[in-house]
């Protein structure tokens, strides 16, 4: 194999991704424990001169950040060796988004800020946020400009978006051009509309269109289940890098495969069940260090099915792991696994995580009537501290 054409992704002197791979922000997933697992996995496959990818926090609500919500402040914590530090922000009010970015810069809370315009979940879109927001292109423009202005050149600002609300309300072209004009460092595009949610097959053609249209880097997102999918996306679309989400659920070692693939090497991680069990223990241990043992192990429960996908494990044992509440209990259950099982190749290239398809998109009343409105919807800001 030869190295893929995409080079390193440089957003600033401090923010470089080499290989050009970004861990997508995922609510309840990309906390400091999971980010560390993915970084460690990628580090095992890096060339000496490479620095690694960009590993982004969970979505952080701007209102909660500026109000210093304790949960939110915990969520934006980074390990001492975690660099560059990357935060994704969600907000609908330009003034609040600007204040959040100003706080991040003034208090040196992160090296990079990503703006969420891609989330399709109803609690976000019904408030006009996430993937609904670029339809109101004037409000979108105000938010992005406020973020770039308050970043003051100290941290790069990027945006992540979807194709549009649905196929009748496409927004990615206008939004990407506005974002470029506002001064963002890159645009990432998920090849689905909000209405398509996580179902069907991602459409990579709009990614290729943006890569041709924009002068700034364009990153592609959607259906990267294996490293070879990432390489194919770069070849087919000309994008500058990839954003990986659901494909790494229960598989942090995917980042080792990505590092090898972008370097032109053919080796791929295929851990047997003994290695997977060791990774599960480490993941739970890291969560326990961050949240305390009981909360950490409870938080780990959601990952059990993803780690064990394809392995022969009895339903009772799976259920017991998914209800464990201490490291000792989890370790006792892990010891009962048939550790000699090889990696189940049948699951390669298969979707992971949410796969639900087309649905109506919850929107504020009258949202589709005007594209140019700059009005902030009533009760638009989420009250919780992220996710």
Q: Which of 220, 248, 269 is the last residue of a domain?
A: 269
Q: Look at the block and give the residue holding tokens 């060796």.
A: 81
Query: Which structural domain range is residue 279 located in?
Result: 273-343
Give which of 113, 33, 32 is closest to 65, Cα–Cα.
Answer: 113
Beta bridge partner(s), residue 21: 242
Same domain, 28 and 89: yes
Q: In terms of domains, do 194 and 288 share one?
A: no
The one-digit pLDDT tens for each residue of the chain (387 residues) are: 555 556 899 999 999 999 999 999 999 999 999 999 999 999 999 999 899 999 999 999 999 999 999 999 999 999 998 999 999 999 999 999 999 999 999 999 999 999 999 999 999 999 999 999 999 999 999 999 999 999 999 999 999 999 999 999 999 999 999 999 999 999 999 999 999 999 999 999 999 999 999 999 999 999 999 999 999 999 999 999 999 999 999 999 999 999 999 999 999 999 999 999 999 999 999 999 999 999 999 999 999 999 999 999 999 999 999 999 999 999 999 999 999 999 999 999 999 988 877 788 999 999 999 898 999 987 666 555 443
Q: Which residues contact 197 (CB under 8 A, 6 or more apart)?
A: 120, 354, 356, 357, 358, 359
Looking at the 3D structure of the chain, how many domains does it have? 2
- The active-site residue out of 38, 119, 239, 248 is 119
- Residue 119 is a catalytic residue: yes
Bond preceding residue 84 cis, omega within 30 of 0: yes
- The tokens 């009533």 sit on which residue? 378
Same domain, 110 and 245: yes
CA distance 244 to 91: 22
241-244 and 218-221 beta bridge pairing: parallel
Cα separation of 225 and 228, whole Å?
A: 8
CATH at 240: 3.20.20.70
369 within a domain of the structure (yes/no)? no
Which tens digit of pLDDT belongs to each residue from 293-340?
A: 999 999 999 999 999 999 999 999 999 999 999 999 999 999 999 999
- pTM, rounded to two decimals: 0.94
């Amino acid at each position: 194999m030869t190295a893929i054409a995409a080079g390193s992704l440089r957003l600033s002197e401090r923010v470089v991704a080499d290989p050009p791979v970004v861990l997508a922000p995922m609510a309840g997933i990309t906390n400091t424990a999971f980010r560390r697992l993915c970084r460690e996995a990628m580090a095992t496959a890096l060339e000496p001169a490479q620095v690694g990818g960009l590993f982004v926090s969970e979505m952080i609500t701007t209102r909660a950040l500026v109000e210093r919500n304790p949960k939110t402040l915990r969520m934006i914590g980074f390990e001492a060796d975690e660099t560059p530090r990357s935060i994704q922000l969600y907000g609908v009010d330009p003034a609040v988004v600007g204040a959040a970015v100003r706080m991040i810069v003034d208090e040196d809370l992160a090296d990079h800020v990503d703006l969420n315009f891609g989330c399709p979940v109803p609690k976000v879109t019904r408030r006009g946020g996430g993937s609904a927001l670029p339809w109101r292109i004037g409000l979108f423009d105000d938010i992005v400009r406020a973020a770039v202005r308050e970043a003051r050149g100290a941290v790069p600002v990027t945006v992540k978006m979807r194709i549009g609300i649905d196929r009748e309300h496409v927004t990615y072209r206008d939004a990407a051009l506005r974002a470029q004009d506002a001064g963002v460092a890159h645009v990432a595009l998920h090849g689905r509309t909000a209405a398509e949610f996580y179902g069907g097959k991602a459409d990579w053609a709009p990614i290729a269109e943006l890569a041709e249209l924009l002068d700034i880097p364009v990153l592609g997102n959607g259906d990267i289940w294996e490293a070879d999918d990432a390489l194919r996306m770069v070849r087919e679309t000309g994008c500058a890098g990839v954003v990986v989400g659901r494909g790494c659920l229960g598989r942090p070692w995917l980042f080792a495969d990505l590092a090898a693939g972008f370097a032109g090497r053919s080796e791929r991680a295929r851990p047997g069940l003994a290695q997977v069990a060791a990774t599960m223990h480490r993941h739970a241990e890291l969560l326990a260090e961050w949240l305390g043992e009981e909360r950490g192990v409870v938080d780990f429960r959601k990952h059990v099915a993803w780690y064990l996908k394809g392995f022969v494990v009895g339903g009772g044992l799976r259920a017991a792991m998914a209800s464990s509440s201490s490291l000792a209990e989890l370790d006792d259950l892990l010891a009962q696994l048939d550790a000699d099982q090889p990696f189940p190749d049948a699951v390669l290239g298969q979707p992971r995580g949410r796969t639900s398809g087309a649905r109506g998109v919850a929107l504020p009343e009258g949202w589709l009537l005007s594209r140019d409105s700059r009005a902030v919807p009533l009760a638009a800001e989420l009250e919780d501290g992220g996710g």
